[in-house]
Structure 1
């Protein structure tokens, strides 16, 4: 997992190569926080944005998940949330498998989970070997969040 802020994309982009670097360059070219709800192609199906608005929930109510074909760059456009994360080796049994339709599986529990707090403009990058639990309360109680998830295909 890599974290940062949109104001400092150039620091990170200069250290990366491949599809993640391209995605960060696309992020630097536009204000993704202004994208409309739903899916917006940034580079076809290889890099696209999915924008959602929701209320955060207690971590215990959120399921850990992981993807196979896409890297997630989760950007907070408004609000605050925490995201849990751990390596896939620390995940328990898969409780729901939607990899054929949505490139995601969900887990019942994970071990050695850490949390990162994100506020407006912050982002976290999750790779397919990392399980993450998004949309969790930042502190006690729900908050309204607008999140832009940039999906970056692994096999570009």
Structure 2
């Protein structure tokens, strides 16, 4: 997991070619010009999802784990809390791994680690790193961008 300011993303080049692609894409393109929904950037190797979403409350939150894709979460407005944990620490499986969607879900365990992101900050989750996003409160709305970056098979 990497947490940093968006303007420092270039520090993380050479971790993976598809992450390099995203870093270069961000240098040449504005996040403001993205339309809501999913946009393919490099076939199914890299795509981006821009969403305006309701936050979760702690009772309805979920951890997600991916095998093939890393997630680069960028908060546009206003903020987001994200819980994270090692998958082997999680006990309450909610959904077995869905290969097509590249996701396994667990109930949120708020005794785990929490990080708080503000506008123009990011978190990068490698495949296998459990994360519970969208924790801003169920009556709040958040703008966010998620790059899905294929790193595994």
> TM-score range with shorter-chain normalisation?
0.7 to 0.9
CA contact (8 A) 1:81 1:119 kept: yes
**Structure 2 residue runs without a partner (length 5+):** none
Give the CA RMSD over aligned residues: 2.2
**Structure 1 residue runs without a partner (length 5+):** none
Q: Which residue matches 1:6?
A: 6
Deviates more, 1:1-10 or 1:124-133: 1-10
Structure 2 distance, partners of 1:17, 1:154, is 7
> Which residues of 2 match residues 1-156 of structure 1 at below 5 A?
1-13=1-13, 16-97=15-96, 99-110=98-109, 113-137=112-136, 142-155=139-152
Displacement of 1:114: 0.8
Structure 2 distance, partners of 1:148, 1:7, is 15
Higher strand share: 2
3-state SS, counterpart of residue 117 of structure 2: strand
CA contact (8 A) 1:79 1:143 kept: no
Higher helix share: 1
Partner deviation per Cα, 1:13-44 (whole Å, 9 max, x = no partner): 3x634322322222232122431111111112
Give TM-score, length-normalised by structure 2. 0.87
CA contact (8 A) 1:76 1:146 kept: yes
